[in-house]
Structure 1
Amino acid sequence: MDFFSEKQIEQRLSAAVKKSSGLALKFVSPSFAGMPDRLVLLPDGKMAFVEVKVLGKKPRPLQVKRHEMLRALGFQVFILDCASDIPGVMEKIAKGGKLT
């Protein structure tokens, strides 16, 4: 397993999403700290939030709280700390249902 920086993992995620005809938008919410790094939008209305970390690093307590809040609203939230996990995350997002 190779070690990648958070930036490198984000770049690989963005490339994979783009290859799937989607968008991996950098998500910044100045008035609501602790939100995940990326909003991944895939064809057919599939979407998820992705928190990117370096290998083995855990989300801060506020981030965990935000992830729980988003999940309670019915959104998928993933913590990605290894580039080799990107295909699995993409598959789970693609299989996730869209909100109607």
Structure 2
Amino acid sequence: MLEKDIERKLVKETKACQGMCLKFISPSLTGIPDRIILLPEGKIGFVEVKGPGKRPRPIQIKRIKELRELGFKVFVLDNKSDIKKILDEIGGDAQ
């Protein structure tokens, strides 16, 4: 299983929750999570997608910490089986 397979599944499952899974590329800041999840009722979360068993780089860990300190939900996803749990935590089950 590749990182892109996990990412495709995340996009599909987010759409099934009536949400959007936006690819995020920051031109001025490195290490920002790959995806922004937008769900009904203003729910938002960030997801860094990794291949199975892969860990975030130090700059990614720093950005994840900064986002969490601002009060955002931020996840590292390296397994398709964790997608539902992540979406539920962001608020995908509150429909």
TM-score (norm 2): 0.94
Aligned to 2:48: 51
Aligned to 1:17: 14
Aligned to 1:67: 64
* Secondary structure, counterpart of 1:91 in structure 2: helix
Number of equivalences:
92
RMSD: 0.9
Aligned-pair distance for 1:30? 1.6
Aligned to 1:5: 2
Structure 2 Cα separation of the partners of residues 75 and 7 of structure 1: 24
1:42 is the counterpart of 2:42 = no
Letter in 2 for 1:12: K
Q: Unaligned stretches of 5+ in structure 2?
A: none
Residues 30-87 of structure 1: CA deviation (Å, up to 9, x unaligned): 2100000000000000010000001110000000000000000000000000001111
Structure 2 Cα separation of the partners of residues 11 and 30 of structure 1: 23
* One of 77, 81, 86 as aligned partner of 1:80: 77
Structure 1 Cα separation of the partners of residues 44 and 85 of structure 2: 14
Structure 2 Cα separation of the partners of residues 30 and 59 of structure 1: 19
Structure 2 Cα separation of the partners of residues 87 and 21 of structure 1: 14
Q: Unaligned stretches of 5+ in structure 1?
A: 96-100
Structure 1 Cα separation of the partners of residues 20 and 69 of structure 2: 23
Aligned to 1:98: none
